[in-house]
Every structure is written in C-alpha cells, then in structure tokens.
C-alpha cells in the first residue's frame, strides 16, 4: 500500500515537470521588456514550487500514516499474544488451586460428618442421664425406691410381705435392661413412667395405696422427671440438629463428587470408580492421582506440546483445548460449595452452643427443685463449660477452616474466559 502510493505520486510529479519543461522549450524567442519577462516567469516558477511542495508533503503524510498503521498492527498482534498468555495463566492457576480445594473440601466434609461431640463430653452427658449415676449427689434409682417406701408405703415397707414385694418389684423395674434400648425416651423417664404405671395397677387391689398417696408420690417424682425431661429435650434437639447437619453434608459431598467428575472428564483424567464404596472412600482413592502436584505436571506437559522453538503458542493451546475454559468457568460452583461447607461448619458450633445452654438450664432445674446443692450444680456447670471449650478447640484444630479460606482466596473465579 505504501509503495504503490509513493510510485503513483512520483509518476505525477515527473509528468508535471516534463510538461513544464516542454512548454518552455516550445515558447518562441522574442525580445521582451525585461520587466514584462520577470512578471511572466515568476508566477510560473512559484506555481511549480507550490505543487512540488504539496506533493512532497503528501508523500511524507502517507509515509507517516503507513508507519503509524504498521505500529498499530504490531501492537494489536502483540496485545493479542499477551491476552492469550494472561488467559492461559489465569486458567492454569485457577485449576491448580482448585485441585487443592477439591482435596481439602473432601477431607473436611468427612471430618465434620464424623463429629457428634467428643468422647469426654459424651461421657459427661451420659453420666448425667444414667439413673444409677450419683454425679449430682443422688441416684435416681435409689430416690425412686426411697419415695416408694416413704410416700407410698408410709415407711412400712418391711412390715408386710405385700409391701416388700412392691419394693422388690419397683427395684426390678428400675434394673430392667429393656430401658437401655429406648431411643425416644431416656432411661430415667422410661423408668419413672413404668414405676408410676405399676403403682397405679397395684392400687386397684391394694386399698392402702389411694389416689391421694399416688398424687403425692407423683408430685415428688415429677421433680426428677422435669429435670430429666429438660436434659432429654437438650439431647434430642442436639441429636436432631446433628442429623440434619449430616444430611446437608452428605448432599454437599454428592455435589462435590459431581463437580470433580466434570472437571476430571474435561481434563481427560480417568474418572473415579465408585462401585460400592462411599463417596469419601472413592474420592480419597481418586486424590492419589488427581492432586495439585499431578495437575501441575499436566499443564507442564501441555505447554511442552505447544512449544515451537522456544515459544509457547498460547493461541493454539487455548483454541485446541476449550475444555480448560469450561473448567475455569465452572469454578464459581466450587467456591459456592466451600461457602456452604463454611455455613455447616459454623452451624455445628451454633448447635453446640445451644446444647450447652439447654444442659445448663436442666442443671439449674435440678438445683431449683432441691435435687442437688448449688455448689454441686456450679461445679458441674463449670466442668461442662470446660469440656465444651475443649471440644470446640479440638474440632477447630482438626478441621482448620482457615486452610480452606486461604486456598479458595487464590482462585479468581469471577474471571470467565470465552
């Protein structure tokens, strides 16, 4: 374009100059007034100079324009190359960090699903709920027998064989192993209900056990029932909350598995074979191959394949591997899964806090109903607080949620590549 334009204007210049010389050569010689000759020649010379200057200026303008266009084209080509490099590096970094995120998220889901509380905390609650335990300074089993002897039998348990059988039957009910298998009620509540039903049936044929006596017995027994009911309510709500939390974790694990299947397929990895194994077991096996170090090797091999001379052809690499863009553009879903896990993780501690409050309330009921001294209750509440704090620290250290935060922050999931 540049050469053709210059040739065109040079040709016009030559034609013009040739014509000018021919006109002067054909002019007849004649004597003229010097003043008139000067007037005739000067306008012609000035006109020729002006036209020549205009042609030279135009040639310079074309030259400058061509140079600018050439620089612009080179800039665009260079910019396109830089853009491809930027896209590729973004994709590579995102997928490498994502591979580590997959591994961490799977590990932490498994850990949180395995949690109920901790062994020490479980032992503490179990002992409070054990009718034979004297953690609060009394045994429910002993107290029920005492109430039967004092309130129902009016202190005459050993005066009559019939009364002795009532006491022995009461002890037999309390010791029955069947109560240990109850799931809807704790053993203390089941025992209290069974003893109460037994005494009502006995009263039908024993006129010494009247309704007034039974109401008095029930009133005293209810002081324990209220305490154990509150403790049972705390346990049931905590268990329900944990089960719901685990259900949500299972759903999250399913979604993570599906996302990993998509990524593995897009990157042409061998897909994890689940068979009869759990998702956790399947993914643990899969991560022997699909891990950060192996993904780095995958990209190194890809770069080697598209290296020509000493330069990587990023444009061809991206064009011939559109699957990389697909994986990158789906990473927002992975980030949402990590956020969901964070919510479930925080929800677990909310459940634990609520449970702690309810157990403390049940202990306060035991104190208010005169079942245990204030000093005993204060000591138990302090012990429970320490165990709960230990459980929180243990779970936080085991799961290490900050590790997940730090890794996901490196994924630039908002940048989509098209």
Spatial CA neighbour of 346 closest among 110, 112, 119:
112
**Bridge-partner residues for 307, per DSSP?**
312
Mean pLDDT of 83-87: 92
pLDDT computed for residue 70 by the predictor? 47
- Please work out, in degrees rounded to the nearest 5, the angle formed at the alpha carbon of residue 393 by the alpha carbons of 389 and 395: 115
Is the pLDDT reported for residue 10 higher than 60?
A: no
Mean pLDDT of 1-30: 50
Listed in sequence order, the residues at least 6 apart from 55 whose beta carbon sits closer than 8 Å to its beta carbon are 9, 12, 13
Q: How confident is the model at residue 379 (pLDDT cuts 50, 70, 90)?
A: very high
pLDDT computed for residue 299 by the predictor? 94
Specify whether the CB–CB gap between 71 and 225 falls below 8 A. no
Give the lowest-confidence range in 62-66, 75-79, 172-176, 262-266.
75-79
User: Greater confidence, 30 or 308?
Assistant: 308
Listed in sequence order, the residues at least 6 apart from 92 whose beta carbon sits closer than 8 Å to its beta carbon are 299
pLDDT computed for residue 76 by the predictor? 40
Listed in sequence order, the residues at least 6 apart from 231 whose beta carbon sits closer than 8 Å to its beta carbon are 125, 128, 129, 186, 359, 362
Q: How confident is the model at residue 404 (pLDDT cuts 50, 70, 90)?
A: very high
**3-class secondary-structure state, position 378:** helix
pLDDT computed for residue 7 by the predictor? 52
Is the pLDDT reported for residue 415 higher than 60?
A: yes
pLDDT computed for residue 81 by the predictor? 53
**pTM exceeds 0.75 for this model:** no
pLDDT tens for 340-370 read 999 999 999 999 999 999 999 999 999 999 9
Give the lowest-confidence range in 105-109, 176-180, 369-373, 399-403.
176-180
**3-class secondary-structure state, position 119:** helix
Is the pLDDT reported for residue 129 higher than 80?
A: yes
pLDDT computed for residue 344 by the predictor? 96
pLDDT computed for residue 353 by the predictor? 94
Q: What rounded mean pLDDT belongs to the chain?
A: 83
How many whole angstroms separate alpha carbon 78 and alpha carbon 72? Answer: 10
How many whole angstroms separate alpha carbon 157 and alpha carbon 152? Answer: 9
379: burial class by Cβ within 10 Å (0-12, 13-18, 19+)?
A: middle
Q: How confident is the model at residue 85 (pLDDT cuts 50, 70, 90)?
A: very high
Count of beta carbons in the 10 Å neighbourhood of residue 123: 12
Per-residue HEC secondary structure of 2-31 comes to HHHHHHHHHHHHHHHHHHHHHHHHCCCCCC
pLDDT computed for residue 274 by the predictor? 79
pLDDT computed for residue 183 by the predictor? 45
Is the pLDDT reported for residue 78 higher than 50?
A: no
How many whole angstroms separate alpha carbon 62 and alpha carbon 114? Answer: 77
């Amino acid at each position: 374009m540049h050469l053709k334009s210059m040739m065109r204007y040079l040709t016009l210049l030559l034609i013009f100059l040739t014509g000018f010389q021919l006109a002067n050569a054909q002019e007849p010689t004649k004597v003229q007034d010097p003043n008139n000759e000067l007037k005739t020649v000067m306008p012609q010379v000035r006109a020729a100079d002006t036209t020549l200057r205009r042609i030279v200026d135009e040639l310079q303008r074309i030259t400058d324009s061509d140079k600018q266009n050439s620089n612009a084209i080179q800039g665009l080509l260079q910019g396109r190359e830089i853009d491809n490099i930027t896209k590729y590096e973004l994709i590579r970094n995102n997928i490498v960090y994502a591979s580590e995120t997959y591994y961490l998220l799977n590990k932490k889901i498994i850990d949180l699903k395995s949690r109920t509380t901790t062994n020490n905390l479980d032992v503490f609650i179990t002992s409070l709920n054990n009718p034979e335990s004297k953690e609060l300074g009394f045994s429910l089993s002993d107290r029920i027998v005492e109430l039967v002897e004092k309130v129902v039998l009016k202190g005459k348990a050993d005066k009559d064989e019939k009364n002795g059988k009532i006491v022995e039957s009461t002890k037999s009910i309390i010791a029955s192993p069947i109560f240990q298998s109850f799931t809807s009620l704790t053993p203390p509540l089941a025992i209290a209900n069974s003893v109460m039903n037994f005494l009502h049936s006995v009263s039908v044929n024993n006129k010494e056990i009247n309704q007034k006596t039974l109401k008095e017995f029930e009133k005293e027994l209810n002081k324990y029932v209220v305490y154990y009911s509150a403790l049972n309510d705390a346990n049931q709500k905590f268990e329900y909350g944990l089960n719901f939390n685990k259900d949500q974790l299972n759903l999250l694990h399913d979604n993570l598995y599906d996302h990993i299947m998509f990524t593995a397929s897009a990157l042409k990895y061998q897909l994890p074979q689940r068979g009869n194994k759990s998702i956790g077991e399947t993914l643990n096996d899969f991560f022997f191959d699909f891990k950060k170090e192996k993904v780095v090797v995958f990209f190194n091999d890809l770069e080697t394949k598209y290296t020509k001379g000493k330069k990587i052809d990023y444009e061809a690499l991206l064009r011939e591997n559109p699957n990389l863009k697909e994986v990158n553009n789906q990473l927002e879903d992975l980030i949402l899964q990590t956020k969901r896990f964070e919510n479930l993780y925080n929800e677990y501690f909310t459940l634990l806090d609520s449970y702690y409050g309810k157990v403390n309330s049940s202990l306060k009921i035991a104190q208010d109903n005169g079942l245990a001294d204030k000093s005993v209750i204060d000591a138990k509440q302090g012990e429970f607080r320490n165990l709960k704090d230990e459980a929180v620290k243990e779970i936080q250290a085991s799961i290490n949620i900050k590790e997940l935060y730090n890794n996901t922050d490196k994924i630039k999931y908002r940048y989509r590549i098209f």
